[in-house]
Structure 1
Amino acid sequence: MTHYTDIAIIGGGLAGSTAAAMLGRAGVAAILVDPHAVYPPDFRIEKISGAEQIGRFRRTGVADLALRRATLASENWIARFGYVLDHAPVHQYGILYDALVAAVREEIPGSVPRILAKAVAITPSEDRQSVVLSNGDTISARLVVLANGLNVGLRHMLGITRTITSPAHSISVGFDLVPGGGPSFPFPAMTYFQERASSRVPYITLFPIGDRMRANLFAYRAVDDPWLRSVRHHPAETLEAALPGLKRITGDYTVSGEVKVRPADLIVNSGTRIPGVVLVGDAFCTTCPVTGTGSDKVFTDVERLCNVHIPRWLSTEGMSDTKIAAFYDDPVKRACDAWSLQKAWEFREVSIGRGPYWLAQRWARFAVSLGRGVRHRLAGPLLATRSLSPDERRDIRGLTESS
């Protein structure tokens, strides 16, 4: 069978599902191709936080359901050396990646068919693209949106060159932390920063997802470092050795459930300006999970593509590489990509860099956090009486209705 459409989206993770929801709601003919009827558990994005990141998500128009299902934290403790530096007001949402994708998929209208298969070949042209699926079907589309993350097969067939610019740039570790001395921890959420650069652990972030306290621990280590085996098999002991002052705030704790470890390479692709094919999210380039900018890149890519470029491209004949180049040259996308890459290198250096400059940078950040904490304590009465924004009122109302 051959399916005819305007847009074929390959990959049903966060980028692909968001694109399918946006295009379907805009009345654009699209098909989503992914082998999973229900997206499987995957250790990726587990938190969306900050006004800028949440704003990027909301600009896609499909954020409301996911944010209602997430766990909202309005305060995040900032701590180091066993001391709380700041009770920072925040707007952050904890949600597991598969639950996030599931919520976005519910925003996809019925007008967008979903085919449970893999794309095994793409033949591009300046007019229509042919996509061969693993179930024997084909898709004829004006544009193929490649949103299949780190899968390299299709990109290799298209002649796209993949370059790893920083192998195992960082290591992400995910697990649940359970209080040992009481029913709950004393903080709503917390970011605890490194105590010494030699531990190569920049920070751990603790945040609620439902009734669980989720922990994301980050490290800068090689994939063959014995530390990774230690954190898999003895997570609590390894955490205490890396951040010994943490227990002064948390009290006794245990690690519950599966410990997930994910090395992250920094990857860029070249030769992507192909007629009729556009790459988004990790399929185009990756970022470092330590900085938390991966979702910024996904939301920016998909929002610019679906709100700006695809409507322009479909208004005229053909799908030349000149059209595709307009997306990659989009100033908003380029700025987000550059900012994300800069943060990946800068955070690594400020965390483990040697020499007096980087030592001074670490102490300067400590002083900034301490100063912000003083200001927040002084401004406490004012913050307590300020009016809530419309978004905050909507989020609180959604939580109340769902509880």
Structure 2
Amino acid sequence: MRYTDIAIVGGGLAGSTAAAMLGRAGVPAILIDPHTTYPPDLRCEKISGDQVNILRKTGLAEATLRAATLDGRVWLARFGYLLDKKPSDQYGIMYDTLVNTMRTQIPDNVETIHAKAIAISTSAERQRVALSNGEEISARLVVLSNGLNVGLRHTLGIERRVISECHSIMAGFDFTPVGRSTFDFPALTYYPERSHDRMAYLTLFPIGNVMRANLLVYRRIDDPWFRQLRQTPEQTLLAMMPGLRRIAGKFKVTGQIKIRPADLYESNGHRRPGLVLIGDAFATSCPAAGTGTDKVFTDVERLCNVHIPDWLATDGMDEAKIAAFYDDPVKTACDAWSAAKAYQLRSLSTDNGISWRARRWARFVARLGEGTLRRLRGSLEAGSAIQQKQAATPPHGRLA
């Protein structure tokens, strides 16, 4: 029997981030995961905006962003027209690289056991975790961060309620220019041209020297279209986005095309003493909405910065303590925002009602207007800079 304060079951992004944060804070913890190195997996492949801001609150941003690729600027396009070239803070990074980089930030005072948790028993005082290697762990709190693995949750009586089956599907592949070494754009987001294609968007972004593509669609997993995408990827993409060639030029899809469907589900029966669920173990998000990393970083930041220090300050680990995390206003606001965005984006992309068609055109006009204003401001600033330079330069042949 090993004793610790926190047993973290699952070493994906949520579990590894929690282990790094707790270890840095000096909280006794053990991370349990069967993989010595996290394997390749089609999940989050970039972080940006508020995700970076939340990551900074964990104290782990510096090493993570150093392993990623910043694009700096992204082009927005639809119908083959360039709408805008806007500043961007997107960082491209493969999911396994992200997780393994996070694992390098786990200090030596956190032990990692490469095994599977096969059984968990909970109480208001201490919890017991049985491992596949025959060991047992006694902990004050178990953090369940084992993603989509439902086996342990079922043994605990925690149910997964699917609220939107196959809500969206992500396809990931490499996107390579033909006849030239690089694309003209640093990154590109291409929006759908027709609602019946059931497409959310195509995003192209650099990871190292490779241009990575994530295509988000709303289709059934058995749709023959996915077979076409694998067999004739370039033709299938151009049939869906005829104007893409005008922006991207000639291209080819290289490497393996990976496809991942996503169900939206939430947990029931999870409020119990001594156990807390974070990340996808608690509830999933829509990849098209791009809120999964927000949810993970928010869960871990609130749990490790706020709730675990508070819980460990007093005896016991009853259900009332655990409820403080699930009812945390920052967490609940993030969860609600993620769910709302998932449904809103799907309707915006596929719904043919008059109001949704009007919203699509309004977004198109708004993006075009923003891009036009940005170009005008850039031209004015460039002209002003030239005038200032000319005014500061003495006439030819004369000393200033």
Same fold (TM over 0.5): yes
Q: Counterpart of 2:166? A: 168
Q: 1:287 aligns with which of 264, 285, 288?
A: 285
SS of equivalent residue, structure 1 residue 289: coil
Change in 2 beyond 3 A, CA 1:14/1:382? farther
- Matched AA of 1:220: Y
String of CA shifts for 1:9-40, please: whole Å, max 9, x gaps. 00000000000000000000000000001000
Q: CA–CA distance in 2 between the matches of 1:238 and 1:307? A: 47
CA contact (8 A) 1:77 1:190 kept: yes
Q: CA–CA distance in 2 between the matches of 1:14 and 1:346? A: 26
Q: CA deviation at 1:314?
A: 0.2
- Matched AA of 1:19: A
Structure 1: unaligned runs, 5 residues or longer: 385-403
SS of equivalent residue, structure 2 residue 258: strand
Q: Counterpart of 2:247? A: 249
How do 1:1-400 and structure 2 match up within 5 A? 2-50=1-49, 52-380=50-378
Q: CA–CA distance in 2 between the matches of 1:236 and 1:182? A: 17
Q: CA deviation at 1:378?
A: 2.7
CA contact (8 A) 1:179 1:251 kept: yes
Rg (Cα) greater in structure: 2
Q: CA deviation at 1:383?
A: 8.4
Give the root-mean-square deviation of aligned CA atoms: 1.1
CA contact (8 A) 1:181 1:251 kept: no
Q: CA deviation at 1:355?
A: 1.7
Q: CA deviation at 1:232?
A: 2.3
Q: Aligned residues, how many?
A: 382
SS of equivalent residue, structure 2 residue 199: coil
Q: CA deviation at 1:181?
A: 2.6
- Matched AA of 1:30: A
TM-score, normalisation: structure 1: 0.93
Q: CA deviation at 1:300?
A: 0.1
Q: CA deviation at 1:108?
A: 0.4
Q: CA–CA distance in 2 between the matches of 1:383 and 1:183? A: 31
Change in 2 beyond 3 A, CA 1:383/1:5? farther
- Matched AA of 1:350: L
Q: CA deviation at 1:341?
A: 0.3
- Matched AA of 1:95: I
Q: Counterpart of 1:395? A: none
Q: Counterpart of 1:390? A: none
Q: CA deviation at 1:375?
A: 2.3
Q: CA–CA distance in 2 between the matches of 1:317 and 1:382? A: 65
Q: CA–CA distance in 1 between the matches of 2:374 and 2:93? A: 27
